[in-house]
A and B are shown apart, each in its own frame.
Chain A
Amino acid sequence: MFDFLSEKLQSAFKSLKGKGILTEADVEAALRELRLALLEADVSLSAIKHLTANVRQLATGEKVLSGINPGEQVTKIVYDQIVELLGTEEPELTFPAPLTVILMVGLQGSGKTTSSAKIAQYCVDKYGRKPVMASLDVYRPAAIAQLEELGKRLDIPTLSSTSTSPQERTKQALSFAKESGANLLILDTAGRTDLNEELMEELKDIHKLSVPHHVILCADAQAGHSAVDVAEAFKKTIPVSGLVLTRVDGDARGGAALSMRHVTGVPILFLGVGEAVGRGNANKIEPFRPHGLAGRILGQGDVLSLVEKVQAASSEEDNAALEKKMMSGKELDFNDISKQLKMMQRMGGMGNMLGLLPGMGALKGKLEGKMDDKMLARQQAVISSMTPKERKNPKLLNAKRRMRIAKGCGLQVADVNKLVKMQEGLNQMTKMLRKGGLSALTGAMGKGGGFPKF
């Protein structure tokens, strides 16, 4: 997903590159292209208006930061605005009651049943919950059988009942959950259109009877402009608290993603990224990360804000040289790493820095403590104990040299080894960044989590 938008937006800002200062005409031209690209991507008109108005206000007459070209600067502004559209928070599911109830709603075929099972399993994997599921869909042929089959695959019990009343089944589901000692109940409902008043009334009944803690609306990522009206109609009927965007693994242009949150004010919780329902990585659902998505749309990941922060913290030349080197494909040596370590120290340490990279949230937690600022100082010590030649050519570091270096700075050989590992890892990362962008990088890191592979 988003390749289309990403391409268009980048070309929209190309014309601004190389300009010393942004005139109103420059910005207007880019905004026209931006608007067109968003329109072609099915972004809702109100979201487009909001976005372009904000970008216009922020970009016009803005003094161009030295070292960042105007194109980049506007891209950064657009990026921030897209994040704002997507919602800056990264909401997590909560389990506020001994039996937490989640109600799944949406249009026909939007992915409710599949997402019900995916979310149930996600809650097992991530939060150690004990879920049960119940289908309240008495209309669609084999809807109940579908959920039952998914439950069997996942070892998640489902309500077995012959009742053909959704209200009756709701009551049965609650007692079934209690009897099974579950602490999570997921209620799958029949698809309904926003215009079907009868079924919307039924939804109110179900809501009253089940008193859900979360009402999750499933929406197709390829939805057209009616998606926001549909979402509003559901919201008017019952208090929708979260969204799941499904079939994000397609090549939809992302309109629904950019519009839904803005129009409804309801946060996107999950992205459905495949048909498969399973355990762990086989479960094609991912928690939503607005920064990752915005970065993906603009084709540069959060590297953008990273660049900006680094820019502020480091001298212009250092930074430009390093960036050039990273992009040119040359290996980063220990001189480069030393410079980076200094920057990181100035910027508030490793954790902060990693937090800026999409999908690295989980990694950040793991690294904190291990990779604290004392560690940064130790690494600097190791580098300062190297000869200029060794700093320039990391390959020279054989066992003997490593021992000498360790002695020289009063540390263990293991500390030297760690630094060498880091240098190698960093080079691998930049290589991937160059090649496939951030998605390749986070994909390769595996446990990053939260950055969808579109």
Chain B
Amino acid sequence: MSFWKRLTGGLGKTAQTVESGLRAALGLSGTMDAETREAVEEVLLKADVGVRVATALVSELAKKLPSPFTEDQLKAVLAGLIEARLKVLEAPAPLLRESLTVVAMVGVNGSGKTTTLGKMAAQWQAAGKRVLAAAGDTFRAGATEQVSVWAERAGADLVDAGGDAAAVAYAAVKKGMNEAYDVVLIDTAGRLPNRADLMAELGKIRRVVAKLLPEAPHHTLLVLDGTQGQAVLRQVEAFGAEAGVDGLIVTKLDSSAKAGFLLALAALETPLPVYYLGIGEGVDDLGNFEAAAFARSLVGLSEA
């Protein structure tokens, strides 16, 4: 199945719901009257774009659309507006540097940190890089076994030295430096943003790693669960402040969720780039974020 098809939910139910929502909106009058506005707003709200963005988009839409308009016009203009907003989230440059790159994966419980780490490791190994994974989740039952299976799958090496997360990260970066790896990928335990104590732990990992390599970790990626709603805004705020997050990953986009919250994240003062999208549980189910494709999938349009 192509990346595109997965993103649009195998062109299944999701696209249909969005489409029927928009068609219903259109069926009303074909003009942007109050009812149509509300119907379009609902489609957007159901895609988790949030109430502010939804309202703003509907207003913009009303100005841009001819009257009356067709279904295709509605979708195309809406997708265009969304794409324009999401453009700032496209990754500026690849994550890897010429020399050793240390990347830490952080996020709330169950968002997909370990799985995405595995996929990234596999992708880089396949590209001829040497990847070392650090089993930094020393807390959850089965976490070490899980990351170790992923490392093996990817053909990457693993450090699961004892001690706390910071100790494991330290050992991994040290090994990475001594043995000339290209990447050290640090897995961390999931944590909720209102747990100040656990957030502080992430600061410790950063400090310890920076002792070995001053600018490390070079990237701290916040893994967002694509099926969540506006709660991710708070996650970006908290992890951004405490863990120095500089990039995002959005997972589980093979579900019926649309992750419209990215529109709200794009409107932040300093938006964080989206480096990867998770579109399944398999090792290859990793995609890049493209504003145009994402916008079209959000409004239920097929591939451009």
Task: Tell me whether A and B are bound partners.
Answer: yes
Bound together, the chains give a CA A251 to CA B231 distance in angstroms of 8
Chain A residue numbers with a CB within 8 Å of B140 are 146, 275
* Chain A proximity of B192: nearest CB distance (Å): 4
Contact of B45 (CB < 8 Å), options: A39, A107, A110, A247: A39
Give me 28 A-to-B residue pairs in the complex whose CB atoms sit less than 8 angstroms apart, sorted by A's number. A36-B51, A42-B231, A45-B42, A107-B252, A107-B255, A108-B110, A108-B112, A108-B281, A109-B112, A141-B118, A141-B146, A145-B146, A146-B145, A146-B146, A149-B142, A220-B110, A220-B225, A222-B232, A224-B229, A224-B257, A224-B259, A225-B47, A225-B229, A226-B46, A230-B256, A250-B108, A253-B230, A277-B141
Map CB proximity to A onto B124-153 as digits: 1 under 8 Å, 0 otherwise.
000000000000000111110110111001
Q: Across chains A and B, which 6 residue pairs bring their CB atoms closest together, nearest first? A: A109-B110, A146-B142, A224-B229, A141-B149, A42-B229, A222-B231
Query: Is B187 positioned at the interface, with any CB of A under 8 Å from its CB?
Result: no
Chain B residue numbers with a CB within 8 Å of A41 are 230
New A-B contacts (18) at CB < 8 Å, excluding given A150-B141, A249-B192, A275-B139: A40-B50, A40-B230, A140-B146, A146-B143, A146-B145, A193-B256, A194-B256, A195-B12, A220-B228, A224-B228, A224-B229, A226-B256, A230-B256, A250-B231, A251-B193, A252-B231, A253-B230, A255-B230
Contact of A107 (CB < 8 Å), options: B12, B14, B139, B227: B227
- Are B51 and A194 in contact (CB-based, < 8 A)? no
Q: How many residues of B contact A (CB 8 A)?
A: 51
* Chain B proximity of A436: nearest CB distance (Å): 17
Which residue on A lies nearest to B46, using beta carbons? A225
Number of A-B residue pairs at CB separation under 8 A: 149
Q: Chain B residues in contact with chain A, CB under 8 A?
A: 9-10, 12-14, 17, 42, 45-48, 50-51, 108-112, 118, 139-143, 145-146, 148-150, 153, 190, 192-194, 225, 227-232, 234, 252, 254-259, 261, 281
Bound together, the chains give a CA A109 to CA B143 distance in angstroms of 13
- Could you say which of B10, B192, B225, B234 has the most chain A C-beta atoms within 10 Å of its C-beta? B192
Bound together, the chains give a CA A145 to CA B193 distance in angstroms of 27
Bound together, the chains give a CA A193 to CA B9 distance in angstroms of 10
Bound together, the chains give a CA A235 to CA B282 distance in angstroms of 26
Map CB proximity to B onto A246-280 as digits: 1 under 8 Å, 0 otherwise.
01011111010000000000000000000101000
Bound together, the chains give a CA A229 to CA B13 distance in angstroms of 10
Query: Is A223 positioned at the interface, with any CB of B under 8 Å from its CB?
Result: yes
- Are B48 and A225 in contact (CB-based, < 8 A)? yes
Contact of A226 (CB < 8 Å), options: B12, B145, B258: B258
Bound together, the chains give a CA A275 to CA B198 distance in angstroms of 12
* Chain A proximity of B202: nearest CB distance (Å): 16
Query: Is A242 positioned at the interface, with any CB of B under 8 Å from its CB?
Result: no
- Are A195 and B255 in contact (CB-based, < 8 A)? yes
Bound together, the chains give a CA A185 to CA B45 distance in angstroms of 40
Chain B residue numbers with a CB within 8 Å of A147 are 141-142
- Are A45 and B51 in contact (CB-based, < 8 A)? no
Which residue on B lies nearest to A228, using beta carbons? B46
* Chain B proximity of A249: nearest CB distance (Å): 6
Q: Chain A residues in contact with chain B, CB under 8 A?
A: 36, 39-42, 45, 107-111, 139-143, 145-150, 153, 193-196, 220, 222-227, 229-230, 233, 247, 249-253, 255, 275, 277
Given contact pairs A250-B231, A253-B230, A109 touches B225 in the complex (Cβ within 8 A): yes
* Chain A proximity of B14: nearest CB distance (Å): 7
Chain A residue numbers with a CB within 8 Å of B252 are 107-109, 193
- Are B256 and A109 in contact (CB-based, < 8 A)? no
Which residue on B lies nearest to A256, using beta carbons? B229
Bound together, the chains give a CA A139 to CA B282 distance in angstroms of 10
Chain A residue numbers with a CB within 8 Å of B255 are 107, 193-195, 226, 230
Bound together, the chains give a CA A226 to CA B43 distance in angstroms of 12
Which residue on A lies nearest to B149, using beta carbons? A141
Chain A residue numbers with a CB within 8 Å of B257 are 224-226
* Chain B proximity of A285: nearest CB distance (Å): 15
Which residue on A lies nearest to B9, using beta carbons? A195
- Are A223 and B281 in contact (CB-based, < 8 A)? no
* Chain A proximity of B93: nearest CB distance (Å): 30
- Are B110 and A142 in contact (CB-based, < 8 A)? no
Bound together, the chains give a CA A277 to CA B150 distance in angstroms of 25
Bound together, the chains give a CA A45 to CA B42 distance in angstroms of 8
Bound together, the chains give a CA A193 to CA B254 distance in angstroms of 8
Chain A residue numbers with a CB within 8 Å of B139 are 275
Bound together, the chains give a CA A148 to CA B112 distance in angstroms of 21
Bound together, the chains give a CA A255 to CA B256 distance in angstroms of 17
